[in-house]
Amino acid sequence: MSLSHDFIAFACNKGVLRFGEFKTKAGRLSPYFFNAGLFDDGASLARLCDFYAEAILAANMGYDMLFGPAYKGIPLAAGTAIALAGRGRNLPFCFNRKEAKDHGEGGTLIGAKLAGRVLILDDVISAGTSIRESVDIIRAAGATPAGVVIALDRQERGTSELSAVQEVEKSYGMPVVAVATLTDLIGYLRGHAELERNLDAVTRYRENHGVA
């Protein structure tokens, strides 16, 4: 089985990937919803970060450290650093806090100093706001944003004819790696009788809002 296939099965079994009718940030009615916040125990977070680590290693990108934007990126960066260390790739990691601390060491960054080529870890890319803020933080520290790793690429149009992921790639000149995509999800639905009833709705949604 492929990494994406195994990840979608895991997300469905955990109830992180659900089917029905959900309103997206863009105001669209989506037949599926992905809520990474429901990876909410030690075992599921560890497995999620294993998927991130495998996707990073398979992508063969150049990177020196990990950055997790507050808040969902924080456990992703820490957990993926642990998963990569277990695979022989020990990396520093850093994350930000939303409000600057006015005591102790102060500042908005926690962890290793941002330096070199930095991978940004997040759950999904919707409007790209979190990525834009992360890029600004990394560049302000004198480091270089090297890429983004997300769990699911919805492959739907952003503010243009490009997808939100493609807009990030074009704007910042860096790759976005997804553990799984909408195309992977559709392929998974076709092979599972208990979920196949959702296939028509998901396929129609891609035809209406998706990108090639």
Annotation says 23 is catalytic = no
User: Is the distance from CB of 138 to CB of 112 less than 8 angstroms?
Assistant: no
Residue 66, SS3 per DSSP? strand
Task: Determine the Cα–Cα distance for residues 147 and 125; give it in Å rounded to an integer.
Answer: 13
Strand (E) or helix (H) holding 29: strand 29-34
- Residues 95-98: contacts with CB under 8 Å, at least 24 apart: 95/67, 95/68, 95/69, 95/70, 96/67, 96/69, 96/70, 96/134, 96/137, 97/70, 98/70, 98/71
Distance of CA 181 to the CA centre of its chain: 11
Which listed residue (23, 25, 98, 101) is catalytic? 101
Count of positions (residues) in the chain: 212
Distance of CA 70 to the CA centre of its chain: 13
Which listed residue (5, 14, 25, 103) is catalytic? 103
Annotation says 25 is catalytic = no
Q: What residues are annotated to the active site?
A: 101, 103
